[in-house]
Chain A
Amino acid sequence: MVRLVRIFLRLQLVQLRSALEYRADFWIAAVGAILQQLVSIVFLLTFFGHVSSLGGWSLWQILVLQGLVMAADGIREMFADGVWKLRADVNDGSFDRVLVRPIPPALQQFTALASIHGIGNTSLGLVVLILGLARSGVDWTWWSVPVLVLTILCGTVLTASISFLTNMIAFWEPSAQSAFPTLVALMRDFAKFPLDVYGAGIRIVITVILPYGLISYYPSRLVLGVGDAPGWWVTTPLIAAGASALAASIVWRRGLNHYQGVGN
Chain B
Amino acid sequence: MSPIVSAEGLVKRFRRPQKGPGLAGAVRHLLRPRHETVTAVEGVDLSIDEGESVAYVGPNGAGKSTTIKLLTGILVPSAGQVQVCGVRPHVDRQANARNISVVFGQRTQLWWDIPVLESFRLLGDIYSVPEAEYRRTMDELVDVLDLGPLLGVPARQLSLGQRMRCDLGAALVHSPRVLFLDEPTIGLDVAVKARLREFVGSMRAQRGLTVLLTSHDLGDIEELCPRMIMIDKGRIVYDGAFDEVTRRFGWEQKVVVTLADGGPDAATLAGAALARVRPVIEETATGLVVTFDSRLISSGEVIKELAVALPVVDLALEETSAESIVRRLYEGNLTFQPADHGATS
Contact = CB atoms under 8 A, between A and B. Distances in A.
A–B: direct contact at CB < 8 Å: yes
Given A14-B111, A97-B107, A99-B93, A7 B125 contact: yes
29 contacts: A7-B126, A10-B122, A11-B122, A14-B122, A17-B114, A21-B113, A94-B107, A97-B104, A97-B107, A99-B72, A99-B73, A99-B74, A100-B73, A100-B100, A102-B94, A102-B95, A102-B98, A103-B94, A104-B94, A260-B75, A260-B90, A261-B75, A261-B76, A262-B14, A263-B14, A263-B66, A263-B69, A263-B74, A263-B75
B75 A14 contact: no
A97 B76 contact: no
Interface in A83-101: 93-94, 96-97, 99-101
A13 B66 CA distance: 35
Given A14-B118, A17-B114, 12 more contacts: A10-B122, A21-B113, A96-B74, A97-B102, A97-B104, A100-B100, A101-B97, A102-B97, A260-B74, A263-B14, A263-B69, A263-B75
A96 B66 contact: no
Contacts of B95: 102
A94 B76 CA distance: 18
B327 to A, nearest CB: 27
Contacts of A10: 122, 125
Q: Is the interface of B mostly helix, strand, loop or mixed?
A: mixed
A7 B122 CA distance: 8
Contact of B74 (A11, A17, A21, A100): A100
B75 A97 contact: no
Contacts of B107: 93-94, 97
A102 B125 CA distance: 11
A6 interface: yes
A260 B122 contact: no
Interface string B55-95: 00000000000100100111110000000000000100111
User: Which range contains the number of A residues in contact with the other chain?
Assistant: 20 to 34
Contact of B126 (A103, A257, A263): A103
B128 A97 contact: no
The 4 nearest A-B residue pairs measured at CB: A18-B113, A102-B97, A102-B94, A260-B76
B336 interface: no
Contact of A100 (B15, B72, B122, B125): B72
A97 B94 contact: no
A3 interface: yes
A96 B69 contact: yes
Nearest to A98: B74
A3 B72 contact: no
B290 to A, nearest CB: 45
A97 B252 CA distance: 42
Interface in A216-264: 257, 260-263
Contacts of B97: 100-102
Interface string A13-52: 0100110010000000000000000000000000000000
A93 B109 CA distance: 12
Contacts of A260: 73-76, 90
